[in-house]
Amino acid sequence: MHRLFLLLLPLAAHSLTFSSPHFPSHFTANVRITSHLLTPDMQTDGYPPTTRQLRLAYDRDSGVARVDEGILSYIRRYDLKKEFKLNSGPYPSCRVSYLSESLPSQQFPRGGVWITAENSAIKCPSPYSSELCRLWRQDEGGGQIVNIYVSHETWIPLVANLHSTNPTTLELEPTLTFEWNNINLKRPSSELFEDVSIKRDDCEDQAGGFPWMHLFHHFFRV
């Protein structure tokens, strides 16, 4: 099921108005990232994959985030200045590092515009093709634009399609797609963000921390 679970919405959807797309303050969602540039001749036994499937849990007010991808889990405790990388595979491991950065603001930069007129909507792209969306466009310069499809009901971003200009044809071609689905606006359980170093004795220090994870292009990262 790809429809949004409209749980704990503070206001009726028709009363919400925003000057740009916005991200909820707390939610869980499945994230699908698809690369349109990888071709079979660039891969070895299907690696690197063209598609990544992740599970995101986020609570801005508590300063916590978690991303699960296969056997790997990343827990960001911005409130404790700690981050963890957990491996639940055949050789379990726990890495902990000092988290020096603050929780990103998760906002869209200035310069974007609504393509759909006020109070109008268009058909959403897959996997939301049965729903209505508003379209926001961000011109990032250098021949790259991002089309963001926003739920007409909740104003939550659902799909981001990145396009770059082909230097030969001068036409826009797709490069990356970010899809969020199974969005649940209920506050995630605090158990998902536990300081695992309290209960585990195998957590080893990781110097330098872990890379940012971009989950809706650079508009949303943890």
Residue % of the chain over a pLDDT of 90:
74
Backbone angles phi, psi at 202, to 5 degrees: -110, 10
Q: Tell me if 199 sits within 8 A of 158, measured CB to CB.
A: no
Fill in the DSSP letter of residue 159. Answer: E
Quick check: 50 pLDDT over 90?
Answer: no
Distances (CA, A) of 106 to 41, 162, 173, 182, 208: 36, 18, 26, 20, 23
**Alpha-carbon span 167 to 84, nearest angstrom:** 41
Q: What φ, ψ does residue 196 adopt, rounded to 5°?
A: -70, -20
Q: What is the pTM of this model?
A: 0.87
| DSSP symbol at 221 | B
Give the DSSP H or E segment for 33.
strand 26-35
On whether the CB atoms of residues 77 and 195 are closer than 8 A, the answer is: yes
Tell whether omega for the bond before 188 is within 30 degrees of 0, i.e. cis: no
Distance, CA of 219 to CA of 55 (rounded, Å):
17
Residues in the chain: 222
Which is nearest to 33 in space by CA: 51, 19, 7? 51
Distance (Å) of CA 60 to CA 103, 107, 122, 166, 188: 8, 12, 30, 38, 11
pLDDT digits (tens, 9 = 90+) for 194-211: 999 999 999 999 999 999
Predicted confidence (pLDDT) per residue in 145-186, tens digit: 999 999 998 889 999 999 999 988 989 999 999 999 999 999
When pLDDT is cut at 50, 70 and 90, the band that residue 18 belongs to is low
Tokens read off for 105: 């603001």
